[in-house]
Chains A and B, each alone.
Chain A
């Protein structure tokens, strides 16, 4: 199985900050990398698919980049509703695997 490593595990930031979350995979996955946002008590929500494609309805302050083994999710200007946990997921091979999550908290 492909191992996923997200960093940092948690992050404190302020409204308006630019934030970057990193996901590293144990082998090359081309651009088969997706990002999800999860708020407490809710199901995850797809933000970015295929490393850099913005899911319909997701604000443009979210962006993704990377290929191979290193990927980033960037939030250009944090909004109050962005404080949540973020997960990366590889869809290059089955079984699909998720990162351990990055908890984004208010500073």
Chain B
């Protein structure tokens, strides 16, 4: 069974750095064709893709947020980590990690999400 779970702080102050961890099971990110993305959703708003890391360590970022994001993986721990610098209240959202298979090219399995509030 494939599962993903996000973890991180529920509350972050403006200008701080947010670090989120996606811990997954049921697949390996060293397997050819595997991808893990981070996607967020502000309260009451639409989904916004943030970043992706592939099995071969290729990394891709949102055009508007790329200067603030870093994605990395620890294959031995089955984890993907996203850091976002200089957070602002507009970054308040539920943050999801999701798996994609290159053959399907869609997010077939999602984590439950973690709500992050940016406030002083």
A97 to B50, alpha carbons, bound, how many Å? 10
A95: Cβ under 8 A from any B Cβ: yes
A90 to B60, alpha carbons, bound, how many Å? 15
The answer, among B60, B96, B108, B111, for a CB contact under 8 Å with A95, is B60
The answer, among B49, B52, B104, B113, for a CB contact under 8 Å with A98, is B49
A43 nearest in chain B by CB position: B110
Chain A 11-53 residues near chain B, CB threshold 8 A: 32, 34, 36, 43-46, 49-50
B48: Cβ under 8 A from any A Cβ: yes
A95→B46 contact, CB < 8 A = no
Chain A 43-99 residues near chain B, CB threshold 8 A: 43-46, 49-50, 55, 87, 89, 91, 94-99
B113→A43 contact, CB < 8 A = yes
Least Cβ distance of B47 to chain A in Å? Answer: 4
A48 nearest in chain B by CB position: B106
Main secondary structure on B side of the interface with A: strand
In the complex, which residues of chain B have a beta carbon less than 8 angstroms from the beta carbon of A34? Answer: 105-107
Number of interface residues of A (CB under 8 A): 22
Least Cβ distance of A35 to chain B in Å? Answer: 9
The answer, among B60, B63, B108, B110, for a CB contact under 8 Å with A1, is B63
The answer, among B37, B100, B108, for a CB contact under 8 Å with A55, is B108
A96 to B96, alpha carbons, bound, how many Å? 15
Chain B 51-66 residues near chain A, CB threshold 8 A: 52, 60-63
A87 to B96, alpha carbons, bound, how many Å? 15
The answer, among B52, B63, B111, for a CB contact under 8 Å with A43, is B111
B46→A91 contact, CB < 8 A = no
Chain B 73-111 residues near chain A, CB threshold 8 A: 96, 98, 100, 104-108, 110-111
List the interface of chain B (C-beta within 8 A of A).
37, 46-49, 52, 60-63, 96, 98, 100, 104-108, 110-113
A-B contact pairs, 15 of them (CB 8 A): A32-B105, A43-B110, A43-B111, A43-B113, A46-B106, A46-B107, A49-B108, A50-B104, A55-B108, A87-B46, A89-B107, A96-B37, A96-B52, A98-B48, A101-B47
Known: A36-B47, A43-B113. 4 other contacts (CB 8 A): A32-B105, A49-B104, A50-B106, A96-B49
